[in-house]
Amino acid sequence: MERRYFGTDGVRGIAGEPPLTPEFVLKLGQAAGAYFRAHAKRPVVLLGKDTRQSCDLLEAALAAGLMSQGVRVEHLSVLPTPGVAHLTRTLGATAGVMISASHNPYTDNGIKFFSADGDKLPDAVEAEIEGLLGREFSTEGMGTVSDFSEAERMYLDFLLSKGESLEGLRIALDTANGATYRLAHRLFQGLGAEVFVLFNTPDGRNINRGCGSTHPQALQKQVVDGGFDLGAAFDGDGDRVILVDRKGREFHGDHMLYLNAMVRHEPGVVGTLMSNMGLEVRLREAGINFFRTAVGDRYVYEKLRSSGLSLGGEQSGHVLFLDHAPTGDGMLTAILTLKALRESGRDLSEWYDALPMYPQLLKNVRVRDKAALMKSPQLQAAIAQTEAQLSGQGRVNVRPSGTESLVRVMVEGPAGLIESVSAELVNLVEQLDKALA
């Protein structure tokens, strides 16, 4: 069954507009509740959220829908997405739900479901839930709601158990005014680091605004000006992290995959179509297999599982360590990477220099109908022509965003060539978008 509302990362949109209206979210809660009730005798759903102002309204609507179908709802309050996944598995809940739009602006929001194992619901289950949306539901056997006050403590204890001493390190943190704002400093201080925190005063509207893993410039300046050993910037829901070395350089997902793969002696690593060719070349030189998937952590996860591997991720800093957790976790990624760093005996800046990157240009083009545009024969012909023009010296990847009305144009190769090639493709996308209007 084809999914209409669920994308690669749950149901996403502008809060208050279709599909994320309170009325729809109530019906989604009823449909999900009916599904969970059919598969569990006494269903329990854990419900977390980030700091954007629309979360409270959507949380109330979703909880009402779930309870109307006999589900017991446990509120986790503000908690990172991976914390919801961890507690769902640890506490033996039927499912977990996170209300967040990750790294997107505060005006956006989303609803992401987790299975009892702490991973994302399979596509087939999401399709089944969608299939229940049009039904009328009775309210027999109403559920209950309560606050689970131990959520932060349990998740923090889990993270502390995965780290090693950070004594002697001075670390600057950027919590993106998001879901890690109450936990990140406690984690790094608990491991012995000296910590300075930026962007940890959420007001409902400032999540990800000029900060976090997508805007690390303020953190980069702080690390250099303050003489810190490194920095760590999380995104709004805490499933990503970008590190910053002492020179203020962005140490992103490809760098972290390389460092961890080398220190952990991984047999193979999973990246995506956006992973830099430099990472692939360096890993293969070290005898480590490298696999690419479509963009999206669910595809990385599926490839890791099917290949029996543990380490994979994306440039964005969404990294998976399946030997530690079933989902990407920014704080876990940071402390495991620092653990590997200390084991290596090298500085983060040395690891940055050890992985030369191929020049890569990524342009985001806002469009009206990304699906129709991607089907354009003219665009596909231009992509093929561009790949031939690069003649093995680089790569082209043009894809629709999974969460926004954008087409992402990525060109990788010689610096003198990719600028003109990228400009031509971006111009074509813009022209085709106007023609489709």
* pLDDT tens digits along 347-395: 999 999 999 888 889 999 999 999 999 999 999 999 999 888 887 677 8
201 pLDDT more than 80: yes
Catalytic residue among 54, 68, 100, 102: 102
Q: Is 237 annotated as a binding residue?
A: yes
Annotated ligand binding at 245? The verdict is no
CA dist., res. 105 & res. 233, Å (int)? 16
Query: What is the pLDDT, as a whole number, of residue 391?
Result: 73
pLDDT single digits (tens) 72-83: 999 999 999 999
pLDDT at 322: 97
Q: 């996403």: which residue's tokens? A: 12
pLDDT, tens only, 203-232 = 999 999 999 999 999 999 999 999 999 999
Record the pTM: 0.88
**Burial profile 126-150: b = 16 or more Cβ within 10 angstroms, e = fewer:** bebbbebbeeeeeeeeebeeeebee
Task: Tell me the per-residue pLDDT of 133-190, one tens digit each, with 9 for 90 and over.
Answer: 988 888 767 899 999 999 999 999 999 999 999 999 999 999 999 999 999 999 999 9
- Residue 257: the pLDDT is 98
Give me the pLDDT at residue 387, please. Answer: 86
Band (89; pLDDT cuts 50, 70, 90): very high
The chain-wide mean pLDDT, for the chain, equals: 95
Count CA within 13 A, CB hemisphere, residue 156: 18
Segment 284-307 shows an average pLDDT of 94
Domains in the chain with CATH codes: 11-151 (3.40.120.10), 168-249 (3.40.120.10), 252-342+353-357 (3.40.120.10), 360-436 (3.30.310.50)
Q: Residue 162: which residues within 8 A CB-CB, separation 6 or more?
A: 324, 332, 335, 336
pLDDT of 1 strictly over 70:
no
Q: Could you give the CA distance from residue 316 to residue 254 in angstroms, rounded to a whole number?
A: 9
- Residue 117: band (very low, low, confident or very high) from pLDDT cuts 50, 70, 90: very high
102 annotated active-site: yes
Instruction: Please give the order of strands across the beta sheet that includes 395-400.
Output: 360-366, 406-412, 395-400
Checking if the pLDDT of 95 tops 90, the result is yes
Q: d(Cα 15, Cα 109) in Å, to the nearest integer?
A: 6
Lowest model confidence (mean pLDDT) among 119-128, 339-348, 395-404:
395-404
Is 102 a known ligand-binding residue? yes
pLDDT band at 9 (very low <50, low <70, confident <90, very high): confident
Question: What's the pLDDT score for residue 392?
Answer: 67
Torsion of CA 152, 156, 157, 162, to 10 degrees: 150
Alpha-carbon distance 363 to 429, whole Å?
Answer: 11
| pLDDT tier, 416 (very low <50, low <70, confident <90, very high otherwise) | confident
